[in-house]
Structures are given as structure tokens and as C-alpha cells.
Amino acid sequence: MKTPFKAVKVTDSIYWVGAIDWNIKDFHGYATDSGTTYNAYLVLADKITLVDTVKAPFRDEMISRIASVVDPKNISVIISNHSEMDHTGCLPEVINLIAPDHVYASKMGLKAIKNHFHSDCGITVVEDGSTVSLGDRDISFIETRMLHWPDSMFSYLPGESFLFSQDAFGMHLASCERFADEIDSFVLEFEGAKYFANILMPYSKFITKLLERIGALNLDIKHIAPDHGPVWRNAENIRHVVGLYKKWAEQKPAPKAVITYDTMWQSTDKMARAIADGLAGSGIQVKLMSLQSYHRSDIATELLDSGAFVVGSPTLNNNVFPTIADAMVYLKGLKPVNLIGAAFGSYGWSGESIKHLENMLDEMKVDRVVESVKCEYIPDNDTLESCNDLGKRIAEKLKQIC
Ligand code: FEO
């Protein structure tokens, strides 16, 4: 068999056999400007094992990489750590092709796969904390429910101190570099934070508990192999990314404010700029993010290490601007915590946008510590001074909290 795509050696007996998706720019509403990878791993145990598979269109790329090391038909075991389609889209076809002796998944993994493919795919359920033998070594399973689906689990090879972490510790980053220590640390931290904010943030409490549990298990971990982005194999990098997960899951308020808005005739834009000036003049870091220039997923990323969220919209047809509705629904679902904030906006004659924004902030549990500012048509200097003052008062509150 010709193998135009080759496996990448991770350790003497573990290979990366995934696929690189350079072109995906939208991952269910998250702007993946840097593309992604779908990682699958081949373990050359006595019972040759494939950990996770790839999104359906990349099946042949994965099979080629496997075949560059072993005949795919020699695979005895497939493990599905996570049933989302970017990791199982080709699973039924791969099972048909390989005919493995065992396919393992969590109980909820079996349920999800059944509901996706209307077949149980011959899955054997593995329990949390259980171990199966691969002949010359064992592999253990740790359920990580709601990180980020009910089915999610880690697989761990104790003999090799090797953790397969499915989506956790991943990032959407297409690259030919397979290891984190080959990639600039700024890129790792930026893409890691963006991934955490847009995929994992709603489950922050579970992440804190999981990290405590992993700590209590005292697992020796020399490699973390996620299902997206690079493999972590350097002790310092592993400590750093685990520390970042602890920090991101806590979302402690920081002296930073995100101002998100849209504008019709630049009135709300002028108000946003005056609020930013009040915040910045009081020593608060500001991200001014017009929805005409920034994607909702960039706003989520900035909120991850912020303490304030200020949102503005003109009134359009008795409501907020559609872009604001889009962003606020998305952000509410991600459940950022520990934020204070306020609303602002211009209007012509009815001015309902402010009330809608206040309700949206309340639903997000953003503590509205300052009265909203609204402006009829075009802000004059008095109104802009009020906006600047709104920024200053948010800054004062934020400094008290941080
Ligand atoms: Fe990468 Fe939740 O799938």
C-alpha cells in the first residue's frame, strides 16, 4: 500500500496518525483562524491500539499514516475517548475496514455513538478507573464527564506515563510541528486560551475538580496527547499548561475590561470610545471590540482574563442590533464568571436596546455595578463625559475587587 501521509513518532512505541485541517475557519461558531488538527494515536503494544480517529473527510489521511507503520488490519483495539464527530466521523468505516477485536468507550460514549450512527459499533463499555490489558502493557480509563461532553474520558498508559486527553489541553492550530516545544510559547498560550474560552469555559468547575482528582491520583505524566493541536512532552510545558488550566478555570477578576458593541451611525461607537478612555485613564487595560471588526469567539477569549464586560448597542426596530444578539447568546452559553459591567447605547425615539442589554447582562450574571448610559441620537460632550465617567466608575469598582 502506498502511504503518501506518514506517521510521526511520539515515543518508541506511540505514533501520531492524525490529520491536519489547514482550511477550517469555523468550528461550530468558533472562528478557527489557525485551522486545526484531528489527532489519532497508534500504540504499538502486543495488541496494536488506535486511540481516537479523525473527522470523516480525513479518514484516508489517517489510514495512510497508520499504514506507514503497520498494516491497519493488524490493529486489535480501538479506543474512542470522545464521540464528537471530529473524532468519530469515520469510526464506523474504520471499524469495518480494520475489524478490531475490541472497541472501547465510556458508557455515555456508547450511548452517543449509538445515537450518531444508529449502531453500537461493537463497543465494550469501560468504567471509570478500569484497566484493560494490551498484552505487554495496560491502559486505564478516567471518565471526564462534561469535559466537554458527557462521554468524554482520558486514557492513560501508566508504564509510559502517557495521557491521551481527548479535547482537554488541546487547541485549534494547524501546523506541521507535532510537539508544543517546537511552537512559539505566545502562540501556544493564545490558541490554548482561545480554545479554553470557546470550548471548555462553561465547564470550569468540572475542570478544577478534575485537576484536583488527577493530582490526588498522583499520576506520573510525561506526555499529554490531546485530540487537537500539539503533544505536550516537556515537563516545563506540561506544568505550564496545567497551571494555565487552573488559572483559566478560576477566572479570577483582573484589572481588564472588554467593551463590546455595534453601531449604526457611529453614536454608540463614540460612546464606547469615551467609556474606554475613562477606564484606561484609571489604569484599567481595555479591549474595545466592535462586532464589525471582532468575532464573537475573540470576545470570549478576552473575557477569560477580564474583570469587566461593558456592552453597547443602538436600538434597531425596538431591539438590540442583530450582531449584539448573536454575540450575547453565544457568550451567555459560555458562562463566564466573576464579571462586573454596564450597558450603553444610542437610540432615535424608543430606546429599548438598553433594557434588553441589561436583561442579557443579568442573565449572564454580570454584576451591573454602574447605571447604564443612553443617548438620544448623537452624543454631545455632556453625554460623552457621562460615558467617560461610566468607565471611571467601573474602574474604581474593578480595583476594589481585584
Ligand atoms: Fe474535538 Fe469535542 O471535539
Is the pLDDT reported for residue 338 higher than 90? yes
Residue 240 annotated in active site: no
Annotated catalytic residue, options 52, 61, 86, 269? 86
Residues 6+ positions from 317 with CB-CB distance below 8 Å = none
Question: Ligand 1 center to residue 296 CA distance, Å?
Answer: 19
Query: Which one of 52, 61, 84, 191 is the catalytic residue?
Result: 84
Q: Are 164 and 225 spatial neighbours (Cβ–Cβ below 8 Å)?
A: yes
**Does 326 qualify as catalytic in the annotation?**
no
The atom number, within ligand 1, closest to the CA of 148 reads 2
Predicted confidence at residue 1, as pLDDT, reads 84
Domains and CATH numbers, the chain: 8-249 (3.60.15.10), 258-396 (3.40.50.360)
**Distance from C-alpha of 100 to C-alpha of 122, rounded to nearest angstrom:** 9
Mean pLDDT of 257-282: 98
109-161 pLDDT per residue, tens: 999 999 999 999 999 999 999 999 999 999 999 999 999 999 999 999 999 99
pLDDT at 307 over 90: yes
Give per-residue pLDDT as tens, 55-87. Answer: 999 999 999 999 999 999 999 999 999 999 999
pLDDT, residue 284, reads 98
CA of 87 to the centre of ligand 1 (A): 7
Give dist(CA 61, CA 67) in Å, integer.
10
pLDDT for 30: 97
- Ligand 1 centroid to residue 207 C-alpha, Å: 16
pTM: 0.97
Given a contact cutoff of 8 angstroms between Cβ atoms, the answer to whether 120 and 194 are in contact is no
195 labelled catalytic: yes
Any idea what DSSP says for residue 232?
B
Q: Residue with the nearest Cα to atom 1 of ligand 1?
A: 167
Q: Does the annotation mark 148 as catalytic?
A: yes
Nearest CA to ligand 1 atom 2: 84
Catalytic residue from among 28, 118, 236, 380: 28
Ligand 1 pocket: which residues have CB below 6 Å? 82, 84, 86-87, 148-149, 167, 227-228
What percent of the chain has pLDDT above 70? Answer: 100
Q: Is 167 noted as a catalytic residue in this protein?
A: yes
What tens digit of pLDDT does each residue of 340-380 get? 999 999 999 999 999 999 999 999 999 999 999 999 999 99
pLDDT exceeds cutoff 90 at 281: yes
Q: Grid coordinates standing for 204?
A: 470550569
- Dist. CA 326–CA 313, nearest whole Å: 12
**Given 87, 172, 223, 228, the catalytic residue:** 228
Q: For ligand 1, what atom is nearest to the CA of residue 170?
A: 1
- Nearest Cα residue to atom 3 of ligand 1: 84
Model pLDDT for residues 151-204, shown as the tens digit of each residue: 999 999 999 999 999 999 999 999 999 999 999 999 999 999 999 999 999 999
How many Å lie between the centroid of ligand 1 and the Cα of residue 195? 11
28 is catalytic: yes
User: Residue 100 C-alpha to ligand 1 middle, in angstroms?
Assistant: 23
Residue 157 half-sphere exposure toward CB, CA atoms < 13 A: 23
- Provide mean pLDDT across the span 269-288: 98
Burial of residue 278, with CB atoms counted within 10 A of its CB: 0-12 exposed, 13-18 middle, 19 or more buried: buried
Q: What is the mean pLDDT of residues 250-270?
A: 98
The H or E element containing residue 330 is helix 322-334
Ligand 1, closest atom to CA 166? 1
Ligand 1 closest atom vs CA 85: 3
Residue 254 CA, ligand 1 centroid: distance in Å: 29
Kindly calculate the radius of gyration of the chain based on its CA atoms and give it in whole angstroms: 24
Concatenated DSSP letters of 250-305: H----SEEEEEE--SSSHHHHHHHHHHHHHHHTT-EEEEEETTTS-HHHHHHHHTT
Mean pLDDT of all residues in 205-214: 96
* Residue that the C-alpha cell 500539539 belongs to: 230
Q: What is the pLDDT of residues 18-44, one digit of tens each?
A: 999 999 999 999 999 999 999 999 999
Number of Cβ atoms within 10 Å of the Cβ of 292: 10
